[in-house]
Amino acid sequence: MFITFEGGEGSGKSTAIKKIVETLQKEGYEVVLTREPGGTPISEEIRNVILDKKNTNMDPRTEALLYAASRRQHIVEKIIPALKEGKIVLCDRYLDSSLAYQGGARGLGVDKILEVNQYATDGFEPDLTLLFDIEPEKGLARIAANAGREVNRLDLEKIQFHHDVRNAFLGLAKRFPQRYFIVDASKSIEEVFNQAMNEIERRLHK
Ligand code: TYD
């Protein structure tokens, strides 16, 4: 089973993922936790180029192609081999982040980004995509309150950008209802975890 975690900044996604990994491992599942952009040495190098604060003049299409390139390496080198070994793969962000950020918020168009990524993914899709949905104002306030987290270039973008990301994700949830599940991420850490975990259990036992 391939599960992806999506959402805006400060949605509590990373905290929930950690608890989900622990829970699944206790239940006896073999779990691989990974992230995008990144997940393999080559993909992590591409990540550094994309997220480097020096690279604010990066062209939006360059950025979209780098995400897709990083994803290709990740799928081939890590995700597919782990699934073949019968492991559950949990991925912190995947294709839908490109669709929402580059396609929606950056204005390149969701269909265009889907097309670009088709070459990278060969149509390989998650079984379940958990969308951690929260109002951008609330998410960004959480980040500011959490001094331990590094602020990256994208966090600094205007608030409208984050609204565009959110709306794009909600549009994707409507477009791909069979694999999407929306978590109300404005709730407490415990409740957010429970919503996500219950849905994973439901799908595992189907
Ligand atoms: P990261 O620090 O991992 O963010 P988070 O903790 O919120 O997951 O940085 C990843 C950033 O990259 C995040 O702002 C979303 C963005 N992103 C894209 O724009 N497109 C993509 O395809 C992916 C995977 C991420």
Q: For residues 35 and 92, give the distance between their C-alpha atoms in angstroms, rounded to a whole number.
A: 4
Residue-by-residue DSSP string for 151-169: P-GGGGS-HHHHHHHHHHH
Which of 93, 99, 110, 162 has most ligand 1 atoms within 8 Å of CB, for mutation? 93
- Expressed in angstroms and rounded, the spacing between residue 97 Cα and the centre of ligand 1 is 7
Smallest CA-to-CA distance from 25 within 81, 91, 82, 90 is with 90
Looking at residue 46, what is its pLDDT? 98
> What pLDDT digit, counting tens, does each position of 44-78 carry?
999 999 999 999 999 999 999 999 999 999 999 99
Which of 154, 156, 162 has most ligand 1 atoms within 8 Å of CB, for mutation? 154
Task: Please check whether residue 202 is in contact with residue 127, taking contact to mean a CB–CB distance below 8 angstroms.
Answer: no
H or E, element range at 51: helix 41-51
- Expressed in angstroms and rounded, the spacing between residue 8 Cα and the centre of ligand 1 is 9
Q: For residues 98 and 63, give the distance between their C-alpha atoms in angstroms, rounded to a whole number.
A: 10
Question: What DSSP character marks residue 77?
Answer: I
The residues facing 163 across adjacent strands are none
Q: For residues 52 and 202, give the distance between their C-alpha atoms in angstroms, rounded to a whole number.
A: 39
> What pLDDT digit, counting tens, does each position of 7-33 carry?
988 899 999 999 999 999 999 999 999
